[in-house]
């Protein structure tokens, strides 16, 4: 187990470097960011040169990347164009997005799995068809439509929530945005759980458990659910990273100053330091989430062993 | 026990996730609502907040609240009036003697003296300080020494600036510029306290100025709380307790917050809401002209666009654009079809002339077709209009302009839009002279002078002459205008120069942009100044 974890951690290193290098190249391909810094007019050449020097943009690309990565390991993610340290931006943005992601994940787990179990056990009944139809609607409607609609209805027409989230981004304010963010994944979790449960409910071990006379609740929880959750856990695990990075739309709609917003600003302003910094952290989150998922397998199914 | 070990791992994972969430960053929850505080939408300033480093409207808003300079532009007329200046005298339009009014203070108690200005200007001009607006000091003698085009500065201070007394200093310009004092209302010319130089980082974290407001708290990227400074004794004291500027990720959200009653003022009504705004806000919607003009510039570095008969093609294109229809339908009358190359906010005395462009800016498909054919047709058979697609809903109007041109010329291939992903990349391609055809150009005035609408945009090698247009006659007329001691004569000369721009159709004027704002029932007396920034100090809380 320990060796497995170490091997996985070592595997992360090349993935991390590869991913950051790609992002670095992509942002640089977009051209000279200094061009946009002076508004509609051209920066005078001397100031532009000076700014380029300040942000290290005057060096060859490989050197920029090397310097950047070198700095990253000392905890220096560089400076955004507005003079703020990127680490400072991260300190503000990540807690907010993590909270939002957690709310979304909780919705996915609680609602998604519950609906999945209910429909999986009642295949073909009206409740199953109803939920399937509902998930189809949720999957096919883009997030920004759901978000804007909920914002307008709950925030303005019925006045249940504030249309925008305050700077604090308290948990209760994040419920609706979290639901919006989770919506599509939630539908997938429901469908995955349903299929998995439906399949396993005919399995031998479930029949055996029933035959032993175990109570129905215990059969479902201990035997059926535990074995059916493996694909769902995989999905939710990889979704953690996807939700954090994909919060751009939701964060914009609900005025949440999180990772999505900072990334959006960074891309608009072509701010390499911000974009690469945030993406690097997201890459790590993604990798760690994947590792945790793999480790969770063993908890769910003791037959799975790591060498 | 294998199972137990696994369970422990899982528990750890969850614990890590929870702690991460628990270490949430909380900041103050900005007290809007009570005791006369106005909440207003804001965008994250792009550059550090320093007077000579702020070149966009979001940072400019703050500077307008916390700073007062030698001159102040009248919020209604745009006229440059003395604020801190007791007098600015000149005999030859080159040497100016400035006297600062006594009794002004920064909000940290320090007095505003001649030195506060000279130090600030020297800071703004010096290359090593990376100030985006350094070129504002370019007219002052010695600028090329502190801010050379290449290499290191050979002087620390501008030789044209001299402190001659506690409240007086002299300025020597490098050329005649009779209306120079009127430029001094621009934020870049604001005075700076010693604290700025002594502890720069602390100042940036919480700027200190000499205006009607002081910065109470500043959480970068999310909110700035400004409060009325009771020590302020200028003529334009704040009528409210303070302003909370809240950063919005999207102006649509700000608008929704406004109509839901959570926000008092939105100074940028999103284009998509213009249809509803009158129904939503009624009289609380403001739509007033601002010193902004949108044009189509041409790549004169491209031989195809720089032909002897090119002016005919360009004028033809101008006449093929149905400005009225586009401003009515796409912009819901928040823009006014352009009739010259300046802005109505200048007033006719300041050089605005609604007859100057004349027929060349009127929609006339037949004449457009004739002129373009006479001028040798469109280069390559079609025009490619380049714009940045990330902000400002440019796609809508570029498509409309293209359709207008196609219809007028009766040619379905005559025009195509060419979106560029980000503003930075768009600017990048412009600077590298890579435009394949006409491109979007917008100009927001720095100060309400006709000079500012012409010289930076059309003078040979000027800072914003992106199309690299060059015309000797125009340059001479601008030089002549700047040398005129009498402002009226200067304006007249600039108008002559503008006629050269018209005859050559150096750029196609499209429309003047209005500032649009909306406010809640809580506040009143809301207005936008000619820079389309709300006049915050006059807002009253009901």
> DSSP readout, B245-268?
EEE-S-HHHHHHHHHTTS-SEESS
B175 and B84 share one domain: yes
For A226, phi then psi, to 5°, come to -55, -40
pLDDT tens for B130-155 read 898 888 899 999 999 999 988 889 99
Residues of A in contact with B222 (CB under 8 A): 92, 167, 257
- Give dist(CA B419, CA A165) in Å, integer: 33
Give the per-residue pLDDT at B35.
Answer: 66
pTM of the model: 0.84
Closest approach of B235 to chain A, Cα-based (Å): 32
Chain B CB contacts of A94 below 8 Å: 20
b/e map A179-217, b = 16+ CB within 10 Å: bbbbbbbbbbbbbbbbbbbbebbeeeebeebeeeeeeee
Window 220-239 of A: residues touching B by CB (8 A cutoff) are none
CA angle A150, A155, A156 (to 5 degrees): 110
Place of tokens 């609706």: A176
A124 close contact with B: CB closer than 8 A: no
Domain of residue B449, CATH code: 3.10.105.10
Q: Is the pLDDT of residue B354 over 70?
A: yes
Is the Cβ–Cβ distance between B291 and B530 less than 8 Å? Answer: yes
Residue whose tokens read 């300041």: B350
What sign does the dihedral B226-B230-B233-B239 (CA atoms) show? positive
Evaluate if residue B1 carries a pLDDT over 50. no
pLDDT digit string, tens, across residues A176-234: 999 999 999 999 999 999 999 999 988 898 899 889 988 988 888 888 988 888 888 88
Per the structure, the complete domain to which residue B126 belongs is given by 69-103+113-190
B447 and B305: one domain?
yes
**B76 shares a domain with B54:** no
Check: CB of residue A119 under 8 Å from CB of residue A126. Answer: no
Average pLDDT over residues A31-55: 80
A163 vs B256: CB contact, 8 Å cut-off? yes
Better-scored residue on pLDDT, A284 or B227: B227
What residues 358-397 of chain B have any CB closer than 8 A to a CB of chain A? Answer: 390-391
Pairing verdict, β B523-524 and B383-388? unpaired
Indicate the pLDDT class of residue B23, thresholds 50, 70 and 90: very low
Answer whether CATH 2.40.50.140 is correct for domain A92-268: no
Question: Nearest 5°: phi and psi at A72?
Answer: -60, -40
- B339-378 exposure pattern, b = at least 16 Cβ within 10 A, e = fewer: bbbbbbbbeeebbbbeebbeebbbbbbebbbebbeebeeb
Q: Is A270 on the interface with B (CB under 8 A)?
A: yes
Which of residues 68 through 97 in chain A touch B, CB cutoff 8 A? 81-84, 88-89, 91-92, 94-96
DSSP assignment, residue B84? Answer: S
Q: CB distance from A63 to chain B under 8 Å?
A: no
- B242-247/B37-42 β-pairing: parallel
Give the integer Cα–Cα distance in Å for B433 and B445: 24
In B, residues 280-339, which contact A (CB 8 Å cutoff)?
Answer: none
B210 and B121 in a common domain: no
**How distant is the Cα of A300 from the closest Cα of chain B, in angstroms?**
9
Which one, of B289, B181, B278, B234, lies nearest residue B532 by Cα?
A: B289
pLDDT, tens digit, 9 for 90 and up, residues A112-155: 999 999 999 988 889 999 999 999 999 999 888 989 999 989 88
Lowest mean pLDDT among A5-19, A34-48, B124-138, B341-355: A34-48
Mapping DSSP to helix (H, G, I), strand (E, B) and coil, where does residue A246 land? Answer: coil
Distance CA A147, CA B174 (A): 57
Give the angle B250-B255-B258 at the CA atoms, nearest 5°: 130
CA distances to B7, B187, B239 from B192, rounded to whole Å, are 61, 11, 25
Closest by Cα among B169, B158, B162 to B88: B169
- 3-state SS of A180-228 is HHHHHHHHHHHHHHHHHHHHHCCCHHHHHHHHCCCCHHHHHHHHHHHHH
Gap between the Cα atoms of B305 and B315, Å rounded: 13
Inter-chain CB proximity B149 and A39 less than 8 Å: no
Q: Is B36 on the interface with A (CB under 8 A)?
A: no
Decide if B301 is inside a domain.
Answer: yes
Whether A153 has its CB under 8 Å from any CB of chain B: the answer is no
Packed helices A175-200 and A126-140: angle between N→C axes, nearest 10 degrees: 130
| Cβ–Cβ below 8 Å for A1 and B5 | yes
What is d(CA B214, CA B217) in angstroms, rounded to the nearest whole number? 9
pLDDT digits (tens, 9 = 90+) for B237-246: 999 999 999 9
CATH classification at residue B217:
3.40.190.10
pLDDT surpassing 90 at residue B432: no
Question: End of a domain among B146, B167, B190?
Answer: B190
Inform me whether the C-beta atom of residue B398 falls under 8 Å from chain A C-beta atoms.
no
**Chain-chain contact of A295 with B6 (C-beta, under 8 angstroms):** yes
CB B519 within 8 A of CB B284: yes
Give the chain A residue nearest B457 (alpha carbons): A41
B81–A contact, CB cutoff 8 A: no
Does the residue B272 lie in any domain?
no
Q: Of B173, B190, B207, which residue constitutes the final position of a domain? A: B190
CA distance A280 to chain B (A): 17
Residue B467, min C-alpha distance to chain A (Å)? 12
Chain B from 465 to 494: CB within 8 A of any A CB: 466
Interface contact B253-A253, CB threshold 8 A: yes
**Confidence label for A307 from pLDDT (cuts 50, 70 and 90):** low
B9 touches A: beta carbon within 8 Å: yes
Take residue A46 and report the two structure tokens written for it.
């001397």
B225 three-class SS: strand
CA distance A107 to A124: 25
Contact B260 A159 (CB under 8 A): yes
ipTM here: 0.84
* Nearest Cα residue in chain B from A50: B130
With beta carbons under 8 A apart, name residues in chain B contacting A148: 252
- CA-nearest residue to A148 within chain B is B253
| Residue B211 and residue B243 share a domain | yes
Q: Phi first, then psi: what are they for B308, rounded to 5°?
A: -60, -40
Please name the member of A167, A254, A269 whose beta carbon is closest to the beta carbon of B223: A167
Where are the domains positioned within chain A? 92-268
Task: For residue B268, report the phi and psi dihedrals to the nearest 5 degrees.
Answer: -150, 90
Asked whether residue B54 falls in the same domain as residue B93, the answer is no
Residue B141 included in any domain? yes
- Calpha distance B191→A88 (Å, rounded): 30
B4 touches chain A (CB under 8 A): no
Q: How confident is the model at residue B200 (pLDDT cuts 50, 70, 90)?
A: very high
Question: What is the predicted pLDDT for the residue at B106?
Answer: 95
Contact B385, B437 (CB under 8 A): yes
Asked whether residue B350 is domain-assigned, the answer is yes
Three-state DSSP class for residue B397: helix
Chain A: nearest CA to B442, how far in angstroms?
7
Q: How far apart are CA B481 and CA B179, in angstroms?
A: 10
Q: Angle at Cα A107 formed by Cα A104 and Cα A110, nearest 5°?
A: 150
**pLDDT: is B170 or A11 the higher one?**
B170
Q: Looking at beta carbons, which residues of chain A come within 8 Å of B464? A: 40-42
| pLDDT (0 to 100) of residue B424 | 83
| Vertex B468: Cα angle to B462 and B471 (nearest 5) | 80
Test B422 with A30 for CB contact under 8 angstroms.
yes
Residue B513 scores a pLDDT above 70: yes
Asked if the Cβ–Cβ distance from A162 to B262 is below 8 Å, we say yes
Q: Which of B29, B128, B221 to mutate to test the interface with A (most CBs of A within 10 A)?
A: B221
Whether A164 has its CB under 8 Å from any CB of chain B: the answer is: yes
Overall average pLDDT of the B355-364 stretch:
94
pLDDT value, residue B20: 39
- pLDDT on residue B14: 41
Contact flag A167-B430 (C-beta cutoff 8 Å)? no
C-beta atoms of B427 and A35 within 8 A: yes
Cα–chain center distance at A173: 19
B259 and B134 share a domain?
A: no
pLDDT of residue A306: 67
A145: left (phi over 0), alpha (psi -120 to 50) or beta: alpha
B256 in the same domain as B308: no
Please give the biggest Cα pair distance in chain B: 96
Residue B450 and residue B348 in one domain: yes
Mean pLDDT, all residues of chain B: 88
List the single residue in A with minimal CA-CA distance to B205. Answer: A84
3-class SS of residue A302:
coil
Residue B518: is its pLDDT beyond 60? yes
Residues B120 and B80 in one domain: yes
More confident residue, A43 or A114: A114
| Residue B282, domain member (yes or no) | no
**Residue B274 falls inside a structural domain:** no
Q: Has residue B392 got a pLDDT over 70?
A: no
For residue B439, pLDDT over 90 is answered with yes
Other beta carbons within 10 angstroms of residue B495's beta carbon come to 19
Q: Say how many C-beta atoms besides its own lie within 10 A of residue A300's C-beta.
A: 18
Q: Are residues B390 and B533 in the same domain?
A: no
* Interface A-B: count of C-beta contacts within 8 A: 206
**Residue B50 to residue B205: CA distance in whole angstroms:** 11
Task: Report chain B residues whose CB lies below 8 A from the CB of A244.
Answer: none
Q: Which residues of B touch A270 (CB under 8 A)?
A: 422, 424-425
Other C-beta atoms within 10 Å of B88: how many? Answer: 17
Nearest-Cα distance to chain B for A51, in Å, is: 6
CB contact under 8 A, B21 and A102: yes
User: What does the block give as tokens for B44?
Assistant: 């994250």
Does residue B281 lie within any of the structural domains?
A: no
| pLDDT, position B322 | 96
* B15: phi then psi, degrees, rounded to nearest 5: -60, -45
Question: Between A35, A159, A255, which is nearest B253 by CB?
Answer: A255
Tokens of A103: 């709310």
Residue B324 maps to a domain = yes
**Ranges A23-27, B29-33, B200-204, most confident:** B200-204
Q: Which of the listed residues B190, B219, B253 is the one where a domain comes to its end? A: B190
On whether both B58 and B152 belong to a single domain, the answer is no
Query: Which residue among B131, B220, B260 sits closest to A84, beta carbon to beta carbon?
Result: B220
Residues of chain B with pLDDT > 90, as a percent, come to: 68
Q: Is B152 on the interface with A (CB under 8 A)?
A: no
Q: How far apart are CA A40 and CA B466, in angstroms?
A: 9
B:41-70 residues touching chain A, CB 8 A cutoff: 44-48, 55-56
């Amino acid at each position: 187990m320990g060796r497995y974890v170490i091997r996985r951690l070592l595997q992360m290193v090349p993935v991390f470097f590869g991913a950051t290098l790609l992002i670095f190249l992509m942002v640089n391909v977009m051209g000279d960011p200094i061009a946009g810094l002076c508004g509609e007019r051209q920066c005078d050449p001397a100031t532009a040169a000076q700014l380029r020097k300040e942000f290290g943009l005057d060096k060859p690309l490989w050197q920029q990347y090397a310097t950047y990565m070198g700095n990253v390991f000392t905890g220096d993610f560089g400076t955004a164009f507005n003079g703020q340290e990127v680490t400072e931006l991260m300190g503000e943005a990540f807690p907010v997005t993590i909270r939002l992601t957690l709310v979304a994940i909780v919705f996915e787990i609680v609602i998604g799995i519950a609906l999945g179990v209910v429909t999986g056990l009642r295949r073909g009944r009206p409740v199953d068809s109803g939920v399937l139809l509902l998930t189809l609607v949720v999957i096919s409607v883009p997030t920004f439509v759901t978000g804007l609609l909920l914002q307008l209805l709950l925030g303005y027409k019925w006045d249940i929530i504030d249309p925008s989230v305050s700077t604090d981004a308290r948990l209760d304010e994040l419920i609706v945005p979290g639901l919006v963010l989770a919506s599509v994944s939630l539908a997938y979790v429901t469908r995955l759980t349903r299929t998995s449960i439906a399949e396993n409910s005919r399995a031998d071990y479930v029949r055996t458990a029933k035959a032993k006379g175990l109570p129905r609740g215990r059969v479902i929880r201990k035997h059926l659910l535990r074995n059916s959750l493996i694909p769902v856990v995989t999905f939710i695990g990889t979704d953690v990273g996807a939700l954090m990075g994909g919060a751009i739309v939701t964060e914009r709609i609900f005025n949440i100053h999180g990772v999505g917003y900072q990334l959006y600003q960074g891309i608009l302003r072509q701010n390499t330091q911000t974009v690469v910094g945030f993406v690097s952290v997201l890459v790590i989150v993604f990798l760690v989430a994947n590792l945790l998922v793999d480790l969770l397998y063993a908890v769910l199914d003791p037959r799975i062993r790591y060498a | 026990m294998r199972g137990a070990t696994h369970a422990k791992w899982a528990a750890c994972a969850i614990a890590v996730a929870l702690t991460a969430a628990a270490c949430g960053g909380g900041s103050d929850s900005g007290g809007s609502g009570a005791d006369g505080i106005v909440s207003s939408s804001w965008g994250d300033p792009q550059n550090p907040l320093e007077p000579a480093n702020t070149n966009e409207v979001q940072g400019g808003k703050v500077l307008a609240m916390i700073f007062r300079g030698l001159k102040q532009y009248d919020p209604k007329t745009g006229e440059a009036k003395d604020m801190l200046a007791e007098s600015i005298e000149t005999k030859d339009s080159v040497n100016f003697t400035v006297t600062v009014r006594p009794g002004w203070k920064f909000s940290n108690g320090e007095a505003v003296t001649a030195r506060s200005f000279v130090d600030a200007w020297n800071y703004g001009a010096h290359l090593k300080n990376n100030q985006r607006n350094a070129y504002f000091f370019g007219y002052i003698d010695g600028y090329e020494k502190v801010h050379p085009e290449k290499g290191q500065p050979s002087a620390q201070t501008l030789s044209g600036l001299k402190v001659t007394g506690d409240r007086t200093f002299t300025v020597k310009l490098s050329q005649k510029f009779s209306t120079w004092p009127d430029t001094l209302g621009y934020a870049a010319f604001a005075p700076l306290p010693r604290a700025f130089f002594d502890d720069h980082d602390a100042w940036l974290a919480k700027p200190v100025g000499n205006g009607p407001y002081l910065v109470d708290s500043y959480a970068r990227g999310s909110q700035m709380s400004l409060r009325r400074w009771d020590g302020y004794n200028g003529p334009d004291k704040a009528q409210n307790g303070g302003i909370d500027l809240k950063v919005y990720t999207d102006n649509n959200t700000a608008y929704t917050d406004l109509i839901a009653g959570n926000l008092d003022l939105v100074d940028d009504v999103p284009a998509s809401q213009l249809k509803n705004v009158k129904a939503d806000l009624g009289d609380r919607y403001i739509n007033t002209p601002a010193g902004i003009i949108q044009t189509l510039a041409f790549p004169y570095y491209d031989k195809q666009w720089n032909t002897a008969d090119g002016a005919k093609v360009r004028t033809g294109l101008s006449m093929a654009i149905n400005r009225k229809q586009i401003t009515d339908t796409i912009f819901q009358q928040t823009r006014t079809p352009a009739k010259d190359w300046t802005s109505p906010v200048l007033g006719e005395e300041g050089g605005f002339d609604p007859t100057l462009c004349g027929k060349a800016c009127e929609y006339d498909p037949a004449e457009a077709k004739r002129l373009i054919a006479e001028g040798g047709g469109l280069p390559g058979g079609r025009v490619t209009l380049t714009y940045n697609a990330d902000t400002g809903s440019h796609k809508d109007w570029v498509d409309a302009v293209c359709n207008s041109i196609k219809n007028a010329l009766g040619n379905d291939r005559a025009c195509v839009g060419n979106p560029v992903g980000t503003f930075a990349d768009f600017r990048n391609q412009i600077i590298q002279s890579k435009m394949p055809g006409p491109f979007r150009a917008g100009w927001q005035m720095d100060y309400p002078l006709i000079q500012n609408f012409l010289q930076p945009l059309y003078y040979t090698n000027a800072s914003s002459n992106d199309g690299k247009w060059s015309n000797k006659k125009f340059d001479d007329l601008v030089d002549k205008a700047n040398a005129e001691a009498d402002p009226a004569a200067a304006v007249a000369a600039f108008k002559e120069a503008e006629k050269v721009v018209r005859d050559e159709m150096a750029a196609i004027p499209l429309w003047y942009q209005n500032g649009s704002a909306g406010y809640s029932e809580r506040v009143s007396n809301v207005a936008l100044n000619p820079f389309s920034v709300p006049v915050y100090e006059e807002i009253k809380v009901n």
